[in-house]
Amino acid sequence: MSILRAIRIFAFYLLLGSSALLWCTLSFFIAPFLSFKARYRFINVYWCRCALWLTRVMLGIDVQVKGANNVPETPCVIVSNHQSTWETFFLSAYFQPLSQVLKRELLFVPFFGWAMAMLRPIAIDRDNPKSALKEVASKGDTLLKDGVWVLIFPEGTRVPYGQIGKFTRSGSALAVNAGLPVLPIAHNAGRYWPKEGWNKHRGTIEVVIGAPMYAEGTGPRAIAALNERVQAWNEQAQQAMGALPEQPEIASTPVI
């Protein structure tokens, strides 16, 4: 990595961190007086668009979206692979309002966590998988009924580019129990924004939005079958964009 590139990356993180602190501080005082949808736009959409703009201008990382016509009018469960921080920015701005699963401890971080708490996240205790699954099912169902998109990263954590984690059934179970489809999404963000380290690479991230997938029936078997279809689609989509080999390595991932 050249010195100039290192300086640009450092400047990017400095601007990203400063903007986050400023925006979360403003949100703490302004957002409580807004409706939920307006609050979501104020806290999440505007800042995430700022983060994406900084990513494009400072780092030379752009995005190309395929399959935008597959997005249904009614919010449903979004299931995406997870490789970096970038996709959390992108998906939070692209779908609104949106809720996602996060570690409960994050809500206690001054200003940042307080702002996130106003966005109706699904905060879970990762040390208690059974309780976490119940929280995802209960709160996720309520959010969907209120017209909020629910984002699930079924691998449970960020997985290095070139690998894929085993998909848990939480997203499929939530969709089946709510009588809604899963909207599958695949991307190769980890190629340009690696899981480890500060280095970033110029290029265009490819995001593919698949057609909504419905379960064939109800119950555990229908959930398992839907989950297998969603993971198979994600693998094929990543292989098509060159992000996975024909026989991908399955990374070890948490339960949620």
Banded model confidence at residue 161, pLDDT cuts 50, 70, 90: very high
b/e burial code for range 131-163 (CB count within 10 A of at least 16 → b): ebbebbbebbeebbeeebbbbbbbbbebbebbb
Stated pTM of the model: 0.92
Contact 141, 178 (CB under 8 A): yes
> What's the burial of 214, exposed, middle or buried (CB within 10 Å: 0-12/13-18/19+)?
middle
**Res. 218: pLDDT tops 90:** no
Mean pLDDT of 243-249: 79
Can you give the pLDDT at residue 134? 84
Report pLDDT digits (tens) over 91-134: 999 999 999 988 888 888 777 777 888 889 998 887 787 788 88
Residue 244's CB is within 10 A of a number of other CB atoms, namely: 22
Can you give the pLDDT at residue 253? 63
Mean pLDDT of 47-60: 96
Can you give the pLDDT at residue 16? 93
First to last CA, the chain: 35
Can you give the pLDDT at residue 256? 59
Percent of the chain with pLDDT over 70: 97
* Residue of 236 and 245 predicted with greater confidence: 236
Can you give the pLDDT at residue 137? 87
Assign a CATH topology to domain 61-251.
Glycerol-3-phosphate (1)-acyltransferase (3.40.1130)
Report pLDDT digits (tens) over 61-76: 999 999 999 999 999 9
* Residue of 32 and 249 predicted with greater confidence: 32
Contact 183, 210 (CB under 8 A): yes
- Omega into 97 within 30° of 0, i.e. cis? yes
User: Domain ranges in the chain?
Assistant: 61-251
Report pLDDT digits (tens) over 9-20: 999 999 999 998
Place of tokens 């709160």: 139
